[in-house]
A and B are shown apart, each in its own frame.
Chain A
Amino acid sequence: MEFKHKDIIALRDLSKEEIELLISTAENMREVNSRDIKKVPTLRGKTIINLFYESSTRTRTSFEIAGKRLSADTVNIAPSNSSATKGETLADTALNLLAMKPDIIVMRHAVSGSHYFLSKKVGCSIINAGDGAHEHPSQGLLDMLTIKDKFGRLDGLKVAMVGDITHSRVARSDIQGLTKMGSSIFLAGPPTMMPPGVERLGNVTVCGTMKEAIQDADVVIMLRIQQERQGKTLMPNTREYSRYFGLNPENLKLAKPDAMVMHPGPINRGVEMSSYVVDGSQSHVLKQVENGVAVRMAMLYHVCGGELE
C-alpha cells in the first residue's frame, strides 16, 4: 500500500489502513534501533527542520534521533532562538525556512490547526509534533504500537483514558486512532476537563467516575495535568485531583489483571500516578518512549514517499 499524504497532521485525516501501514513500518524500523550501528541511508540527503514553538524534550529528541537514524540532516529551531521573538509571523518564518529547501518540517505549535495553515503555504512535508489541544499524531501512533506490542491487536480492547481531556492533544489522537482500529474508549476526569460532545468523536463513553472507566480495562492511559493550563477554575488543587483521578496500586486492581498502564509524559509523580504504578510491572511508559523513535522514523519515511533506497 502506498502512503499518499504529503503531510501527517492528524490521525483524523488517516484511514485505518494508513494507520496500520505506519504502525507496521514502525515495527520494521525497530530492527534498525536494535543494531550496533543504528543508522540506515534511507533519507540520506534529505533535510528535516524541527521547528518547536513549544518546549519539548522527548518529542523533539525523538524526532531528531529518528531523522538521524535514517541519515537525514536535522536542524532544530526553538522559539527562543527563532525570529518569532522578533515578531515574525509563522507564515514568514516558514517561507524563509522553505527557501532553504528542507524536505520536511516537523512542527510543534501552541495554536490548534496551525499545521494546516502552514501546509497551505509551503510545498514541503509537514509533520505535526503537537498543535494546541488538537492532535499529536506521533504520540497516538506510538501509543497504538505499544498496545499492539502487548496484545497483538488493537481491536476489541477497552481503553480507559483519565485526566484533562479538554486540553489534551494526545487524547484526541488516541481517540481518533484507537476507535478507528476497533477499540472502545472510556473517559474519566473532572467534569471541568471533559469537552462537550466528546462522545461523538468515535466509540467513546464518558464515565462519571474513574472507577467506572478503569473497571476491567485492558489499557489505562493517564493524561498529564497541565498545571500551567488549569488556572484556578478547573480543579481545587492537585491533592484533590490525585485523590479522585490519580492512579495508584489500589484502584489499578479494578482493571484487568494484565492491564497495561501508559502516560504520554512528562509525569507529575504522585498526582496523575503514584510512583508505585509508574515504576511498577504494568507500566509501559518507557516502552512508549522507545517506540516513539520507530514511529517517527516511519512517519518521516512515508511522507518522503516511502520509496527511497
Chain B
Amino acid sequence: MNLLIKGGRVIDPSQGIDDTLDVVVENGLVKEIGKGLAVPAAAETVDATGKYVVPGLIDMHVHLRDPGLEYKEDIISGTRAAVAGGFTSVCCMPNTKPAIDNKAIASYIINKAKTEGACNVFPVGTITQGMHGDRLAEMGELKESGCVAVSDDGKPVKNSELMRRALQYAAGIGIMVISHAEELELVGEGVMNEGFTSTELGLKGIPRVAEDIATAREIMLAEYVGAPIHIAHVSTKGAVRIIREAKARGVKVTCETAPHYFTLTDDAVRGYNTNAKMNPPLREADDVAAIKAGLKDGTIDCIATDHAPHHLDEKDVEFNEAMNGIVGLETSLPLSLKLVDEGLLTLAQLVEKMSCKPSELLGLGRGSLKAGSVADITVIDPAKQWTVTESALASKSKNSPWLGETMTGAAACTVVGGNVVFSGR
C-alpha cells in the first residue's frame, strides 16, 4: 500500500527535522518528505493536521509471554497492544517458558510475529542457559537467529565472574548485554520500596541500594573488560548518579527507564494496590526527580515500558503473593508526552528516547524517516483524551495502576512497513 501522511508536524531527530510536512510512503519505504507533495498512485491519505508524525516508536523492553505463558499475553495480543500504543517495534524479553536461550525459540517468536503479529518483534535472548545463571547461553547462535540483545531480565546474573565473561563474550560477537541490576541478598523478601510507606504499611522493603550496588558492579565489569552494558529499568537516584558518572568517564554504559518510574512514587502502593507492585519497586519523590533529571541531561538514553502482563488471578491476591509488573504499552506515550508538557524534554528528545536511540543501540535499522528507510511511522494525536479501562486495553492482561484515569495523547495512526496497522482509539 502506498501512503500519503499529510500536513503533520514531522519530528525526525535523525535528520534534524521539525516542520509541518507531508510524508510519502511507497512499497513499504519512506519515499519522500516535503511540503505539498503529490498523492502517489493508489495511495491512502492520512490527514495528520494538528498531529505529530515521528519515526515508529520502539519499545526495547516488553514481555510478550509467548511461548509458555500465553494466558497472560501472546505475540498477537501483545503486538496489538503495542501498535495501539504507537509502537512499531518491540523487543521481547527472554523469560518465556521455555526461555529464549536457543535458536528454536527465537525462530518461533520471529516467525509467529511475522505471520500473525501487528508489529516488528525483535527477541532478546538469554545471557545464561535457561536463565539459571551458571553457564553462558549460545549467544552467537542467538544473534544469528535474530536476537538483538541478551538479558536474564527478571533476575540478575549473580555470579560476577560469569557476568564479566558474558560481557566479554557478547562484545566479541557484537550483541548488547542488558542487565537486570539487582543485588538479591539486599532484596531479601522485600515486596516494595523500603521507606516510610513500607514502614507504615508493614510491608518488607527493598532498599534502593540493592539497585545501586548492582548497577555499580555492572559498570565496573563493563569498564574493566571494555564492553558495552545497558542497564534496564533504572529506578533510583543512586543508579542515575552512578551511570552519569560512568558516562562522564567514558564507560560504554547506556540505560533505560520506564514511565512508571518518572510518574509514580511508592505512595501508589497504599491500599495494598497490587497493580503498583513491580520490580524494581516504585520509589520515592527524590528518585522520581532524579529519573527526570537523568532523562533531561541525557544520562537516561531510552524510555521503555517493561510491559509485564499478568492474569487477574495473579494480581487479585494478598500483596505479598501478587506477581511483579504492570502493562505499559498503551499508557507509555501519554505518560511520556507529559515530560514535554512539563518542559523537561523537547519533542525531538522524546522521539530520540522512544525510537532513535533504542534502534541505534540494538542495531534495528529503524528510528528514522530518511528516504529509503523502512516505513515504520507513528502519528501522534497529542490532544486525544481517553480513559484507561479494561476494555480499552488491547493487552490480554489489565494490570495497570492507571485504570480509571484519563490520559491525554495517543497514537492516531501506526504504520508498520508501510501498512496502517492501527488507526486511533
List residues of A whose CB falls within 8 A of some B CB: 12, 89-91, 109-114, 116-117, 131-135, 166, 169, 172, 195-198, 200-201
Contacts and interface: CB of A to CB of B under 8 A. Distances in A.
Contact of A113 (B196, B199, B203, B205): B203
Contact of B203 (A12, A112, A116): A112
B322 to A, nearest CB: 10
Contacts of B316: 91
A112 B201 contact: yes
B196 A196 contact: yes
A113 B272 contact: yes
Nearest to A176: B200
B261 interface: no
B318 interface: yes
Contact of B195 (A12, A89, A196): A196
28 contacts: A12-B200, A89-B317, A90-B317, A90-B318, A91-B316, A109-B318, A110-B320, A111-B321, A112-B201, A112-B202, A113-B318, A114-B318, A114-B319, A117-B317, A133-B203, A133-B204, A134-B201, A134-B202, A134-B203, A166-B199, A169-B202, A195-B198, A195-B199, A196-B205, A197-B195, A197-B196, A198-B199, A200-B200
B351 to A, nearest CB: 39
Contacts of B194: 196
Nearest to B204: A133
B172 interface: no
Nearest to B194: A196
A113 B201 contact: yes
B271 interface: yes
Interface in B183-207: 194-196, 198-205
B251 to A, nearest CB: 31
Contacts of A114: 318-319
B93 to A, nearest CB: 28
Contacts of B319: 111-114, 117
Nearest to A136: B202
Interface string B211-243: 000000000000000000000000000000000
A230 to B, nearest CB: 13
A111 B318 contact: yes
A111 B320 CA distance: 6
A116 to B, nearest CB: 6
Contacts of A201: 199-200
A129 B155 CA distance: 36
Contacts of A132: 202-203, 320
Contacts of A172: 200, 202
A135 B199 contact: no
B317 A91 contact: yes
A200 B196 contact: yes
A102 to B, nearest CB: 20
Nearest to A231: B188
Given A90-B317, A113-B319, A196 B203 contact: no
Nearest to A90: B318
A169 B205 CA distance: 15
Interface string B295-329: 00000000000000000000011111100000000
Nearest to B319: A113
A132 B194 CA distance: 16
B202 A116 contact: no
Nearest to B321: A111
A1 B79 CA distance: 57
B202 A131 contact: yes
User: Which 10 A-B pairs have CB atoms at the shortest separation, nearest pair first?
Assistant: A197-B196, A134-B202, A113-B272, A133-B202, A195-B199, A112-B202, A111-B318, A114-B318, A111-B320, A113-B319
Given A89-B317, A111-B318, A196-B198, 4 more contacts: A117-B319, A131-B202, A132-B202, A134-B202
Nearest to A113: B272
Contacts of B202: 112-113, 131-135, 169, 172
Contacts of A110: 320
A246 to B, nearest CB: 24
A91 B202 CA distance: 21
B282 to A, nearest CB: 15
A18 to B, nearest CB: 19
Contacts of B196: 196-197, 200
A231 B1 CA distance: 65
A90 B318 CA distance: 8
Nearest to A121: B316
Interface string B267-310: 00001100000000000000000000000000000000000000
A112 B319 CA distance: 8
B287 to A, nearest CB: 14
A134 B196 CA distance: 13
Nearest to A118: B318
Nearest to B274: A117
A103 B271 CA distance: 24
A109 B203 CA distance: 13
A203 to B, nearest CB: 15
Interface in B317-366: 317-321
B272 to A, nearest CB: 3
A132 B318 CA distance: 11
Contacts of A195: 198-199, 205
Among A113, A114, A133, residue most surrounded by chain B Cβ atoms (within 10 Å): A113
Nearest to A117: B318
Interface in B32-86: none
A117 B272 contact: yes
A282 to B, nearest CB: 30
Contacts of B317: 89-91, 117
B206 to A, nearest CB: 12
A184 B202 CA distance: 21
Contacts of A131: 202
Nearest to A200: B196
Nearest to B196: A197
A182 to B, nearest CB: 20
A200 B199 CA distance: 10
A116 B199 contact: no
B126 to A, nearest CB: 30
Among B200, B203, B316, B317, residue most surrounded by chain A Cβ atoms (within 10 Å): B200
